[in-house]
Amino acid sequence: MSEKPEILVFGEVLFDCFQNGERVLGGAPFNVAWHLQALGDNPKLISRIGDDELGRMILMAMRRWEMDVTHVQVDPKHPTGKVEVTMIHNEPNYRITPNCAYDFISAERMFSLPRRGILYHGTLGLRNEVSRKAFSHLLQCCPELSVFLDVNLRSPWWKKEEVYHWLEKARWVKLNEHEIQQLELGHDDTEEAMEKLKMQFGLEQVILTLGEKGAMVLGHDGEFHYVVPTKADHFVDAVGAGDAFTAVYIHGLLSGWGISESLQSAQKFASQVIGLRGATTNDSDFYREFIKNELHGFRIVE
């Protein structure tokens, strides 16, 4: 049996800061990497933190979770990223601090990376020219990596032309129903917009999350796949639900699952994460229960 492909995760790690003073580790790439670690996929996170208290807290949390910190750079000038989160009608709204450490990921400090596997990234982590250059360098050095693009459109930190550029580099793309309309593909109908996106950028799969309505995937063969979630037993907030979905979907890609299997499991995991405060948890039992019911034979971080 061939070994499972390696997974690289590029982009921001930060703290989500809530109105009640609570601080929770976040950032879509970090959330995805955290979940993938719990699923036994041993991701390599390429990011940058400040030489400050929050940065040290991130390294401590990663080490306790047995995550690889080799590629997390420490910035002596810029602070660790922060986002102020407010809840409006049970939906998270974000105010993202500019000029954070993750905006200055250095190409010169990236080394010993796998040449093959899956490379996950979002759009927020590429808002600054320095990190964009580092990411472009990574693509040039490792041309056999297959790119999973997670479209996270956070105003004012994105431009349509830049998102189109990254779409051209991707094999798979995941976005939500609002983001696909923001990309102005010329179709109001969701399925037609997905088909246009897939054709225009030569994508293998277009993965669309629909919030409480579930998710859908357009496969390489032009077939649509759908999942409708059951009502969640416990709701705290929707922060990171999309990242939880993405992590399990990528786990399915790494494991060679079909679209329907990946879609069903990803949706079930996202439905569990909305019962957490924030996007992740260090409670191994949370993952253990999911794996026991949905997956088989994977190691859990103790």
CB 255 within 8 A of CB 42: no
Burial of 46 (0-12, 13-18, 19+ CB in 10 A): buried
DSSP letter for 123, please: S
Task: Express the helix, strand and coil content of the chain in percent, nearest 5 each.
Answer: 40, 25, 40
pLDDT for the residue numbered 2: 55
Query: What percentage of the chain reaches a pLDDT higher than 90?
Result: 68
Residue whose structure tokens are 């976005």: 175
Report residue 302's pLDDT band, with 50, 70 and 90 as the boundaries: very low
pLDDT above 90 for 239: no
pLDDT for the residue numbered 1: 43
pLDDT above 90 for 260: yes
pLDDT for the residue numbered 229: 81
Cβ count near 199 (within 10 Å): 11
Backbone torsion region of residue 100, taken as left when φ is above 0, otherwise alpha when ψ lies between -120 and 50, otherwise beta: beta
Query: What percentage of the chain reaches a pLDDT higher than 70?
Result: 92
Report residue 4's pLDDT band, with 50, 70 and 90 as the boundaries: confident
Paired tokens of 43: 């991701």
Phi, psi (5° rounding) for residue 226? -130, 150
Report residue 21's pLDDT band, with 50, 70 and 90 as the boundaries: confident
- Contacts with 273 (C-beta within 8 Å, 6 or more apart), sequence order: 240, 241, 244, 279
* pLDDT tens-place string over residues 80-115: 999 888 878 777 787 899 999 999 999 999 988 887
Helix (H, G, I), strand (E, B) or coil at 54: helix
Domains in the chain with CATH codes: 7-293 (3.40.1190.20)
